[in-house]
Amino acid sequence: MIIMGVDPGLTRCGVGVIEAGAPRRLSFIHVDIVRSDPKLSQDLRLLAIYDGLVGKIERFVPDVVSIERVFAQENRNTVLGTAQAAGLAMLAAAQRGIPVALHTPTESKLAITGNGKAEKPQMERMVARILGLNAPPKPADAADALAVAICHALRPQGALQGGEREQHLTAAQRRWAEATQQAARRRGVRRDM
């Protein structure tokens, strides 16, 4: 399964692509930043981000697009552009019938390091280790895009969009999901990997 992770942003939108093979065997395919020129007007910036994301989706044909969830409480100066970039990623996927999943940064950190409050260097090291890379991926701020892709692979059902997800979980998966949700609620509680 090809998973494309997206760390949304209007100026820099991270894209990370991995392959999830035999149980929990994850391999690195691609990482990049899709950019828009801050000097352009907002409509042209959104067009640049959309076109960049469509290019990545058409090149790598992911089975799922995993996007970092945006919260209204975030930095007021950037949150709307970030939300719009996330919306464009969802649109680009939906137009091609590709399922979309949303994961919070805490969920990514928890899934990858076992600590929902893990710092960036720890996340980068673990992303590299999980993907069998000799060094943390560059550019450094693209690691978040790989992280949200890895998070989707490591979570049991991957929090696909839509209300029917829970019904498709096995009993074990449901217990896992409940435990993860509880842990996420407690933010940062350590979990055995």
**Which position among 7, 19, 124, 144 bears the catalytic label?**
7
Active site residue 7: yes
Choosing from 27, 37, 42, 121, the residue that interacts with its own copies (CB under 8 A) is 42
Active site residue 68: yes
* 68 among annotated binding-site residues: yes
Does residue 64 interact with its own copies by CB under 8 A? no
Binding residues for its own copies, rule CB under 8 A, total 33
Closer to its own copies by Cβ: residue 44 or 140? 44
Does residue 112 interact with its own copies by CB under 8 A? no
Choosing from 4, 17, 46, 142, the residue that interacts with its own copies (CB under 8 A) is 46
Buried-state track 122-154, b at ≥16 Cβ within 10 A, e below 16: ebbbbbbebbeeeebbeeeebbbbbbbbbbbbb
Report CA torsion sign: 140, 144, 149, 152: positive
Choosing from 84, 104, 106, 180, the residue that interacts with its own copies (CB under 8 A) is 84
d(CA 91, CA 67): 12
